[in-house]
Amino acid sequence: MPESFPVTDRTRLLREANRAVYDRDVICRILDEAFVCHVGFTGPDNQPFVIPTMFARVADHLYFHGSAASRMLRGLSSGLPVCITVSLTDGLVLARSVFNHSMNYRSVVAFGYAQVIDEPAEKLAALQAFTEKLIPGRWNDARQPNEKELKATSILKLPLTEVSAKVRTGDVEDDADDYALPVWAGVIPLRLVADAPLPDSRCDPAIPTPAYATNYKR
């Protein structure tokens, strides 16, 4: 894999181009932190669909649950053109002017052709990646999929070839004249936190809560 993705007509940012990032490590970190991606595809009559779904990155592919998209995809041997978008919200940016209010965020947009996975071994690897992404250590504790479950699971994959990120971090950016205004300005950081695990109502109290759940951190 290249260390950065090539800039294409579709991944070149026209607005706020200074926020564009094509670096592979930055993009992978965003993809690995986000739980949910938004899969866009075009239905009949040019109708766009955007479906939120769980996903995981494995090397240079995104794997995602694809029940909605896979109905459309069956029979499209070339694959379904998709746009997969991921976004993380990191803070509220309170500028002196309304116009310069913003958010700190990290987002990734990936274009390409998604394919249905049919090979059981690849499906199993994708399910392992989903599970370990949710919570590392879980795969070995849970009952692993049987043949019937593997068949019932619809998973698609997208090769990461045309990808870009957009990142805003740091301070307020106000117009020069506005810095003199008597208006408080700053950033309110946001982050996703985990609370204490809640055992299932039918969970045997004799089974200890695993450390990976008790100490879960994003």
63 three-class SS: strand
Of the candidate residues 25, 32, 33, 141, the single one contacting its own copies (CB under 8 A): 141
Question: Are 109 and 84 a contacting pair, CB within 8 Å?
Answer: yes
- Stretch in the footprint of its own copies (CB under 8 A) among 22-30, 56-64, 92-100, 115-123: 92-100
Cβ 198 to its own copies shortest distance, Å: 5
Q: Does 122 help bind its own copies (rule: CB under 8 A)?
A: no
- Beta partners for 83? 40, 111
Backbone angles phi, psi at 141, to 5 degrees: -90, -35
Environment class of residue 115 by beta-carbon count within 10 Å: exposed (0-12), middle (13-18) or buried (19+)?
A: buried
Of the candidate residues 109, 156, 163, 167, the single one contacting its own copies (CB under 8 A): 109
175-194 residues in contact with its own copies (CB under 8 A) are: 178-179, 181-194
- Beta partners for 6? none
Structure tokens at 200: 């299932």
Environment class of residue 180 by beta-carbon count within 10 Å: exposed (0-12), middle (13-18) or buried (19+)?
A: exposed
Cβ 120 to its own copies shortest distance, Å: 14
Cβ 205 to its own copies shortest distance, Å: 10
Nearer CB in complex with its own copies: 7/203: 203
Q: Does 147 help bind its own copies (rule: CB under 8 A)?
A: no
Q: Does 143 help bind its own copies (rule: CB under 8 A)?
A: yes
13-42 residues in contact with its own copies (CB under 8 A) are: 14-15, 35-36, 38-42
CA dihedral 210, 120, 24, 83 (to 10 degrees): -110
Of the candidate residues 72, 135, 159, 168, the single one contacting its own copies (CB under 8 A): 135
